Amino acid sequence: MSAPVKIGENTMTGNAKFTIEKLDRQMSLRETVTERLRTSIISGDLVEGELYSAPSLGAAFGVSATPVREAMMDLVREGLVETVKNKGFRITGMTDAELEEIAEIRLLIEPEATKRALAAVPSTSIPELRALADVIVRTAQDKDTDAYLAADREFHSRLLSFAGNKQLVELATSLRLRTRMYGLKTLMDNHQLDGSAQEHHEMIDCVERGDGDGIHELMIRHISHARGIWNTGSPDAEASSLHAQNTQ
């Protein structure tokens, strides 16, 4: 992988500065650009409210502006960016109230949907899910933000897929992306994310023993940890209050 390229005011349409690595051209270009941009937004490397142009981002990646524009349109549909005519793309922001609303929706659908999915997970799929959980734990320990977010998204979408409702999987994945884990890098640096990462193995343990109530409870705790990350940079800060609200 090439050395990181630093982008400053002279190459950006706006005042944001960030560090980004040039892409490996052997990878699927559009998907790779999309994933890298998504991760940069979620982790906060691309700043909310700032305006970015496709040519300058393409220069940073070492690719043309075309795959960047295509990737940005995917992220527009995910609600992470918005187009600004003749200027580029602005990173959208989220208020605390909006984050709370998304957390409430996730708590309404994900624990129950995961419990339903548990009953349909074939034994042959457990090794695959366990392998994804291993990746999540390892990448949290290795402080690999890109790989962690990709594995986390794949794990949850794969597990939810056994509920047999494609629209539900797409909705849950979209909500997960929109929440953005603002304190993720800091938590990784301090190894505070390890416990939340390990919960993915606990979910598979529930699947193996057919513990629907256990995975329902665990998903409430897991989402509550994420809410603590957004709000305070601590995975446990909001867990108790959100857990209490959803178990009364």
Q: Which two tokens stand for residue 16?
A: 């944001």
**pLDDT at residue 21, as a whole number:** 54
**pLDDT at residue 183, as a whole number:** 61
List the chain pLDDT tens, one digit each, 248 residues: 444 544 444 444 444 555 555 554 455 788 889 988 988 887 778 888 899 999 999 998 899 999 999 999 999 988 889 999 988 999 988 788 888 888 899 999 999 999 999 999 999 999 999 999 999 999 998 888 888 888 999 999 999 999 999 999 999 988 887 776 556 766 777 777 888 899 999 999 999 999 999 999 999 998 887 666 555 455 554 444 444 444 44
Write phi, then psi, for 169 (nearest 5 degrees): -60, -45
Which domains are present in the chain?
4-91 (1.10.10.10), 96-245 (1.20.120.530)
Please state the three-class secondary structure of the chain as a single string. CCCEEEECCCCCCCCCCEEEECCCCCCCHHHHHHHHHHHHHHHCCCCCCCEECHHHHHHHHCCCHHHHHHHHHHHHHCCCEEEECCCEEEECCCCHHHHHHHHHHHHHHHHHHHHHHHCCCCHHHHHHHHHHHHHHHHHHHHCCHHHHHHHHHHHHHHHHHCCCCHHHHHHHHHHHHHHCCCCHHHHHHCCCCHHHHHHHHHHHHHHHHCCHHHHHHHHHHHHHHHHHHHHHCCCCCCHHHHHHHCCC
Of 159, 155, 157, the closest CA to residue 172 belongs to 157
**pLDDT at residue 228, as a whole number:** 60
Q: Which residues pair with residue 4 across a beta bridge?
A: 21
**pLDDT at residue 90, as a whole number:** 95
